[in-house]
A and B are shown apart, each in its own frame.
Chain A
Amino acid sequence: MINALGQPQTLLLLGGTSDIALAVARDYARTGSPYVVLAARPGARRDAAVAELAGLGLGVEAVDFDAEATDTHADLIEGVARVRDIDVAVVAFGVLGDEEQAWQDHDAAVHLATVNYVAPVSVGVCLAAVVKRQGHGVIVALSSVAGERVRRSNFVYGSSKAGMDGFYLGLGEALRGTGGRVLVVRPGFVHTKMTEGRDAAPLSVTAEDVAAAVTKAVAGGDDLIWVPGAMRGVMSGLRHVPRALLRRLPI
């Protein structure tokens, strides 16, 4: 259960080795001790993540998760939910890819669209069934401002995020009245291993900033947030910039 102070007892991290997912677990560990189910591909990174969270005094368990193997998602999520209520599930996996390769290399494009859109839809449907049955639970979907106004510079990534963002906003509406909730998180540029080596955009944040915003929003019952908050205004303006002008902007 999530208690009166917004602290969950069970945290499911899908894409459990992502910097933001781990930062969310660390943020909860500051004031509480949730049991963490870390769903990720087996390997050294997952082992390190398990060790790190266990070192914080949390109960941790790793389960094998492959975003592209959508036919395995239902069993995986139901398996977790059979043992304990899923209080907060973070849909944190995604790939950025090489923008120019992504629209010219068929395999790369399909891979990106599968991981960033098809797989989130797949786990979203499974998670929705769980929180609906439980009568409570929050699904946190890590979207991106890139999906809010899709730009030439990363339109394959942006379009996949636009799709998943729309799906989760709609899922939140569909779950109204069931006790289950969806929180869509739209970070700007986040300094993580995914964005390593890229030039930081203005208003860039860290994984810790995103995590702090997520835990606050889960406690506060929000359904859509931007990180940083100022990004909301920026994107609201950017959404209305004519394409001819957007093309000339250095973004």
Chain B
Amino acid sequence: MSERLTGWGRTAPTVGHVVSSTPDQVAELVGRAGPRGLIARGLGRSYGDPAQNAGGTVLAPFAGRIEAPLADGTVRVSAGTSLHELMVDLLPRGRFVPVTPGTRYVTVGGAIACDVHGKSHHVAGSFGDHVASLDLVLADGSTRTVGPDRSADLFWATVGGMGLTGVVTSAVLRTIPVETGYATVTTQRLPDLDAVMREMRESDRDFTYSVAWIDTLARGRAMGRSVLSRGEHATRDQLSGRAGAEPLVVPGAPRLAVPFPSPTNLVTSLGVRAFNEAWFRTSPAHRDGEIQSLGAFFHPLDGVANWNRVYGPHGFVQYQFVVPDGQEESLVRILERISAERLPCFLAVLKRFGPGNAAPMSFPLAGWTLAYDVPAHPDLAPLLDGLDRLVVAAGGRVYLAKDARLRPDVLAEMYPRLPEFRAVRETVDPDHVFQSDLARRLAL
């Protein structure tokens, strides 16, 4: 069925033919893909255009399917399984996903294709680091089981490969043991960028999970003022009261929703400045040992369904980049540029990454990442192109799962291992059966 698709940012809509299938039917659909090719789509949480394919075929996610965990703590799931479904299944068994991004409404296939990361990257790495193996339907219709120990080149090209090596139908993931469905959280309010970066550099390693929210509208001495939130999985004896009675609570459905797309952008400078001010002032200066549910700790925005609709008909873009360790000066300069623009941004997210992995197109590298949401507007182009130049000069890159406007020539500078990825793709898909709007836009 022809369907108008966008990413989570609700920008650049195109129409593709959306088809539902079971994993068994994928080979046939790949064989029947027309000249505009095919791409697998998950839950549409990438911000830009990687999960849409103008004029071509878009494969809807498979039904979620989770097999009982094996003795070694791995679990086999269908690629269409969402991390939400996985958490609901795993938590009562005392297990949890090793990496979760800021939303649990992503599929396993999408998490692999984007090699997503979470608050634990500095200790746990990214999603692909926890995939033992995956089944991939290739352009010729054959299915290959690949992993870090078999067909490693193809496996690592698929991790972070934005769906362009084939269709992942299932995967075997490692899980981690947890005693409860809660986290113990330490919150600190920090007055400026120096303070938050120092704190993260000195003591992030003491926490499994760490992220800071930055008020990009604060200027001058307050530039980079932040609330740093760090935590651990709570143990059973840390819980009391209701939480103690039901320690392995699973995350629930969203409690609120934005029922329809706002006719205009509601994210305006005035409102955002007031929100950021109130949020900073009401955050505790320092609080230890607060108990939060895993849903509240990892996925606060999942509490509001379709929150992306508040940006109105033109949508929004998220600019997420990483600069390597040692390039702190560049990060400061970029934040200065962002703050000077005074664009309405609710709380940019700052996070430290640990070392990257073997995947040529994986985003994370040891350093600092910042994610910045703003309403989409043609006038943003010079700012973001300017930020790209600063990021490239610092040896950094932007995250393709968030990108919706990068230029193809800049991509090659940001991802020096792009030729390796292309070489694998040429081997397994010389005719570029796997196609997406992102692939066309960036001439991947």
Residues of A within 8 A of B (CB): 1-7, 9, 31-33, 85, 133-136, 177-179, 215-216, 219-221
Q: Is B418 an interface residue (CB 8 A)?
A: no
Q: Tell me which residues across on chain B come within 8 A of A220, comparing CB atoms.
A: 314
A132 nearest in chain B by CB position: B55
Q: State which of B36, B53, B379, B441 has its C-beta within 8 Å of the C-beta of A3.
A: B441
Q: What 8 A-B pairs come out closest when comparing CB atoms?
A: A179-B15, A135-B55, A4-B404, A4-B11, A135-B54, A136-B14, A31-B381, A1-B441
With A136-B55, A179-B4, A220-B314 as given contacts, are A6 and B15 in contact (CB-CB < 8 Å)?
Answer: no
Q: Tell me which residues across on chain A come within 8 A of B54, comparing CB atoms.
A: 1, 85, 134-136, 179
A2 nearest in chain B by CB position: B12
Q: Tell me which residues across on chain A come within 8 A of B315, comparing CB atoms.
A: 4
Interface centre among A177, A179, A215, A221 (most CB of B within 10 A): A179
Can you identify 28 A-B contacts, CB atoms within 8 angstroms?
Answer: A1-B12, A1-B437, A1-B440, A1-B441, A2-B12, A3-B11, A3-B404, A3-B441, A4-B12, A4-B315, A4-B376, A5-B381, A31-B385, A32-B381, A33-B407, A135-B14, A135-B55, A135-B56, A136-B15, A177-B2, A179-B4, A179-B13, A179-B15, A179-B16, A179-B55, A215-B378, A216-B378, A219-B314
Interface centre among B9, B12, B36 (most CB of A within 10 A): B12
| Additional 18 contacts, C-beta under 8 A, given A5-B404, A134-B36 | A1-B12, A2-B12, A4-B317, A5-B317, A5-B405, A7-B381, A32-B381, A85-B440, A135-B16, A136-B13, A136-B14, A177-B2, A177-B15, A178-B2, A179-B55, A216-B378, A219-B378, A221-B314
Q: Tell me which residues across on chain B come within 8 A of A134, comparing CB atoms.
A: 36, 54-55
Q: Is B48 an interface residue (CB 8 A)?
A: yes
With A179-B4, A179-B14, A220-B314 as given contacts, are A5 and B380 in contact (CB-CB < 8 Å)?
Answer: yes
How far apart are A8's CB and chain B's nearest CB, in angstroms? 10
Q: Are A135 and B36 in contact (CB under 8 A)?
A: yes
Q: Is B430 an interface residue (CB 8 A)?
A: no
Q: Tell me which residues across on chain A come within 8 A of B380, comparing CB atoms.
A: 5
Q: Are B313 and A221 in contact (CB under 8 A)?
A: yes
A85–B443 Cα distance when bound, in Å, is 12
Q: Are B4 and A9 in contact (CB under 8 A)?
A: no
Q: Are B9 and A4 in contact (CB under 8 A)?
A: yes
Q: Are B441 and A135 in contact (CB under 8 A)?
A: no
Q: Tell me which residues across on chain A come within 8 A of B129, comparing CB atoms.
A: none
With A134-B55, A135-B55, A136-B14 as given contacts, are A5 and B378 in contact (CB-CB < 8 Å)?
Answer: yes
Q: Are A31 and B55 in contact (CB under 8 A)?
A: no
With A178-B15, A179-B13, A221-B313 as given contacts, are A7 and B55 in contact (CB-CB < 8 Å)?
Answer: no
Q: Are A9 and B55 in contact (CB under 8 A)?
A: no
A6 nearest in chain B by CB position: B378
Q: Tell me which residues across on chain A come within 8 A of B53, comparing CB atoms.
A: 135
How far apart are A103's CB and chain B's nearest CB, in angstroms? 42
Q: Are B55 and A133 in contact (CB under 8 A)?
A: yes
B49 nearest in chain A by CB position: A1
A178–B382 Cα distance when bound, in Å, is 31
How far apart are B342's CB and chain A's nearest CB, in angstroms? 18
How far apart are B389's CB and chain A's nearest CB, in angstroms? 14
A6–B379 Cα distance when bound, in Å, is 10
Q: Is B377 an interface residue (CB 8 A)?
A: yes
A133–B2 Cα distance when bound, in Å, is 12
A-contact 0/1 string along B297-333, CB 8 Å cutoff: 0000000000000000111010000000000000000
A56–B14 Cα distance when bound, in Å, is 29
How far apart are A178's CB and chain B's nearest CB, in angstroms? 6
Q: Tell me which residues across on chain A come within 8 A of B12, comparing CB atoms.
A: 1-4
Q: Tell me which residues across on chain B come within 8 A of A1, comparing CB atoms.
A: 12, 14, 49, 54, 437, 440-441
Interface centre among A1, A6, A221 (most CB of B within 10 A): A1
Q: Tell me which residues across on chain A come within 8 A of B2, comparing CB atoms.
A: 177-179
Q: Tell me which residues across on chain A come within 8 A of B314, comparing CB atoms.
A: 219-221
How far apart are B313's CB and chain A's nearest CB, in angstroms? 7
B405 nearest in chain A by CB position: A3
Q: Tell me which residues across on chain B come within 8 A of A177, comparing CB atoms.
A: 2, 4, 15
A137–B259 Cα distance when bound, in Å, is 29
Q: Are B378 and A31 in contact (CB under 8 A)?
A: yes
How far apart are A143's CB and chain B's nearest CB, in angstroms? 23
B409 nearest in chain A by CB position: A33
A9–B437 Cα distance when bound, in Å, is 12
How far apart are B371's CB and chain A's nearest CB, in angstroms? 15
A133–B53 Cα distance when bound, in Å, is 12
